[in-house]
């Protein structure tokens, strides 16, 4: 028996679980934040940066711990996440409807799309006075502002994806007897899903930006309220604690949508 044939009889090494294979890639993602935290802590301890400008991460961690023990952190995080969820769902739903309508109808595209493109350029803070005048200082105005932030990326990606569909694919579907739901299931949805999911992730990112604008004005709960409280009391560590909480929550919610992308598009590699 030859050497090649003997080696072919050796038992194959067991494949590593996917979580183990992904571990080095995940670890690399934490490398830069870890380096920045170490450099930040060292700079603060060596007093290279004034503590009232940038407190040490250990001081920020102590502040977060105190907020967690008192229950204040959970209450403010819950308020922010609730506003974000309601605004994101509302804005994405409306954007999905208008994206489909304007993408499939040339008349609606000519009628509505120029207006949407113009409104898309308005900064988030520019909407605040109008929503406060129209809807008051309660939760409705905050949710509406977040919905505006989520609307435009979802609409733009879905609308563009529908208009970019190769018409020959639709013709082939019609020739194969696809009608309405079958055509949507086998042609339209697979063709637009990648761009739509990308729009959802972009909309979620803008929703987080808009929730800050919403909570900086008139909120009595939320991470934005913590930032205002830290500013008014000159507690920089409280401001940094709120900013880091925004960063962590934003990354967690984006990871959820990223996992949804992988689930709905198993052919993609991440």
Q: What is the pLDDT of residues 189-200, one digit of tens each?
A: 788 888 999 999
- For the cut 90, the answer to whether the pLDDT of residue 23 exceeds it is no
Q: How many domains does the chain have?
A: 1
Q: Is residue 252 assigned to a domain? A: no
User: How far is Cα 32 from Cα 121, in angstroms, rounded to an integer?
Assistant: 33
Q: Is residue 48 assigned to a domain? A: no
User: How far is Cα 51 from Cα 212, in angstroms, rounded to an integer?
Assistant: 24
- For the cut 90, the answer to whether the pLDDT of residue 93 exceeds it is yes
- Say what the pLDDT of residue 3 is: 46
- Say what the pLDDT of residue 158 is: 93
Q: Is residue 241 assigned to a domain? A: no
- Say what the pLDDT of residue 121 is: 87
For residues 181 and 53, which has the higher predicted lDDT (pLDDT)? 53
- For the cut 70, the answer to whether the pLDDT of residue 13 exceeds it is no
CATH at residue 213: 1.10.3720.10
User: How far is Cα 219 from Cα 137, in angstroms, rounded to an integer?
Assistant: 8
Residue range 32-58: mean pLDDT, rounded: 81
Q: Is residue 59 assigned to a domain? A: no
Q: Is residue 141 assigned to a domain? A: yes
Q: Is residue 213 assigned to a domain? A: yes
Mean pLDDT, rounded, of the chain: 83
- Inter-CA distances, 87 with 146, 209, 260, Å: 5, 12, 19
Torsion, Cα of 130, 135, 140, 143 (10° steps): -10
- Give the pLDDT band (50/70/90) at residue 11: low
pLDDT tens figures, 182-241: 776 777 778 888 899 999 999 999 999 999 888 876 778 899 889 988 888 888 899 999
Q: Is residue 71 assigned to a domain? A: no
- Say what the pLDDT of residue 7 is: 45
| Domain carrying residue 211 | 83-218
Q: Is residue 255 assigned to a domain? A: no
- For the cut 50, the answer to whether the pLDDT of residue 8 exceeds it is no
């Amino acid at each position: 028996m030859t050497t090649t044939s003997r080696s072919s009889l050796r038992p194959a090494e067991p494949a590593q679980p996917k979580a183990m294979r992904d571990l080095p890639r995940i670890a690399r993602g934490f490398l830069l934040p870890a380096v920045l935290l170490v450099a930040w802590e060292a700079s603060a301890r060596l007093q290279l940066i004034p503590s009232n400008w940038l407190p040490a991460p250990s001081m920020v961690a102590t502040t977060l711990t105190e907020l967690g023990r008192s229950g204040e952190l959970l209450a403010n995080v819950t308020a922010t996440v609730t506003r974000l969820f309601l605004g994101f769902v509302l804005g994405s739903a409306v954007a999905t409807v208008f994206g489909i309508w304007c993408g499939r109808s040339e008349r609606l595209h000519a009628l509505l799309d120029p207006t949407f493109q113009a409104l898309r350029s308005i900064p988030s803070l520019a909407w605040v006075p109008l929503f406060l005048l129209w809807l008051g200082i309660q939760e409705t105005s905050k949710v509406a502002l977040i919905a505006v932030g989520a609307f435009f990326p979802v609409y733009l990606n879905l609308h563009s994806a529908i208009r970019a569909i190769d018409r020959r694919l639709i013709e082939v579907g019609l020739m194969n007897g696809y009608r309405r739901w079958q055509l949507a299931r086998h042609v339209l949805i697979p063709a637009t899903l990648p761009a739509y999911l990308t729009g959802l992730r972009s909309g979620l990112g803008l929703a987080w930006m808009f929730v800050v604008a919403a909570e900086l004005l008139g909120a009595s709960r939320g991470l934005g309220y913590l930032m205002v409280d830290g500013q008014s009391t000159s507690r920089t560590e409280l401001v940094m604690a709120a900013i880091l909480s925004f960063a962590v929550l934003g990354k967690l919610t984006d990871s959820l949508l990223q996992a949804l992308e992988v689930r709905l598009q198993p052919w993609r590699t991440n």
